Amino acid sequence: MLGGLSILFIMLVTATGLQAMVTQEQALLVFFALSFFVNLPHFAATYLLFYKDHYQKILKLWSWRMVGVVLPAILLIYLILSYVLSSWKDISHLVTLMFYLVGWHYVKQVFGCVVVVLHRADYVLSIWQKKLLKTNLICLWLTTLSAYSDYRPKLAYNSLGYSFYYLPQFTLYILFAAMLLTAGGFFYLTYHRSQKQGVLFPVMAWVPLAAVYLWFIPVFHQQIIFMALPLFHALQYLLFVTVYKINQESPPNKSLSFKNAFMFLFYSFLLGAFFMEIFPRSLDLMITLKMSSITIFLVMFNVFINIHHYLMDYVLWRSDVPEFKNYVLNSN
């Protein structure tokens, strides 16, 4: 679940030509069903962790207050004004922002996976290893954005059109070169350390790194793989959420810990399904679809939750958060 399943899936699709065997409608139906049980709950889990488990930090820390109150209020006001003014174009800009930020969210999560694996293996990254790895993942994200910047046919998210913004071609070459240089530097330092100090980089830590490169490399960008990536990202996320909730029980009680973790995931499933599908679709059926073919409430709810999820995730899963350190990094 750290990324190995996605690697196997990409290899399977590429080797078997599954893309040609399955229609887009069939793939959409399968991944739409799976999203109810995996992708939607991972969004709701963030809200439960942030506002239920960490509500005191929102009151005391400005960074948490900014992410928990100020920024979502700005997003909400923007969406409400856009809806009142029937400015779907303004909402489409937020859709574009969402797709731009999702890559940052993915690479940040992958870095977190690597940190957890290394910590459990007692492998401490040197300052330059950490800098190069972080920079490389950011370059990977930006290189992919640049590669798609001139991909300008009419795209649609839940029936609302949007587009990527144009970037000059030379930015792709610069970012790609930076990605290669930082990857080479990281590999060199890691190899040099293994040779001089006998400290091997854990094999399991390579798995999420290999996975994210396969997620982002254009040659693997078949439609069915695109549809599956959010699922594998959410599985990766829910793995750490489950570990967090299991180890939260104090004093340790195995049966109670697993029960609490299961109930947490169940509530996440209910909340995710309601706020990202059932409720907005109901509003569209009652209001929007009588006047337009655009499911605007579905778009607005999902865009708001996605972007806010990225922001909450940024402050939740940090080594300076005591709960993350105790329940995930230092847990058994």
pLDDT score at 120? 87
Position 151 scores a pLDDT of 59
pLDDT at 331: 67
Where the chain has pLDDT below 70, the residues are: 1, 17-24, 150-154, 218-222, 250-254, 256, 331-332
Q: What is the pLDDT of residue 271?
A: 95
Its pTM stands at 0.90
Name every residue whose Cβ is closer than 8 Å to that of residue 317 and which is 6 or more positions away in sequence: 109, 112, 240, 324, 328
CA distance 75 to 291: 25
Structural domain total, the chain: 1
* Residue with token string 């029960």: 259
Residue with tokens 């100020």: 70
Please enumerate in sequence order all residues whose Cβ is within 8 A of that of 190, keeping only pairs 6 or more positions apart, or say none.
129, 201
Q: What is the pLDDT of residue 252?
A: 63
Per the rule left: phi > 0, alpha: psi between -120 and 50, beta: everything else, 125 is: beta
Range of the domain at 164: 4-329
pLDDT at 144: 87
pLDDT at 75: 96
Question: In 10 A of CB 307, how many CB atoms?
Answer: 20
pLDDT score at 186: 95
Q: Please name which of 317, 306, 117, 97 lies closest in space to residue 210, comparing C-alpha atoms.
A: 117
Distance from CA of residue 218 to its chain's centroid? 18
